[in-house]
Amino acid sequence: MEGVIDAVTRELLTVTPGFDWTVTEFVRVVDARLPPRVFYKHCPELAHDQVATPSGIPVHLQLLGADPVALAANARQALTLGARSIDLNFGCPAKLVNRRP
């Protein structure tokens, strides 16, 4: 959910027991490999040895897109930056999210 599950929210939610993992807001991938700063903005946990919330809950990086070549390039970029796993989001029925009529 865009604009809802940032690092602060992940931290607050995972203080409560019961979470096995959490996910970032989606990183929108269109047609190019994104620079590292975009990944760090969505997942500041990448800057730490363990990509997890302060309470130790793993954070999975979510990519949103429809171009398989661009998604693959960005997945490799995320893994190079230390992402533990990639959550692929191939689209959402919401017109605003897909930016299509």
Q: Return all residues near 29 (Cβ < 8 A) that are at least 6 apart.
A: 63, 64, 65, 67, 70, 71, 74
Domain covering 7-98 in this structure, CATH number: 3.20.20.70
pLDDT for 80 equals 96
pLDDT for 90 equals 75
| Tens-place pLDDT, residues 46-72 | 999 899 999 999 999 999 988 899 999
The two three-digit tokens of residue 90, written as one number: 């191939």
What does the domain layout of the chain look like in residue ranges? 7-98
| Tens-place pLDDT, residues 14-44 | 999 999 999 999 999 999 999 999 999 999 9
- Is 43 assigned a catalytic role? no
Which position among 92, 95, 98, 100 bears the catalytic label?
Answer: 92
Helices in the chain by DSSP H: which ranges? 7-14, 36-42, 68-80, 95-98
pTM attached to this predicted model: 0.85
Give CA–CA dist 7/4, Å, rounded.
10
- Strand partners for 59: 22
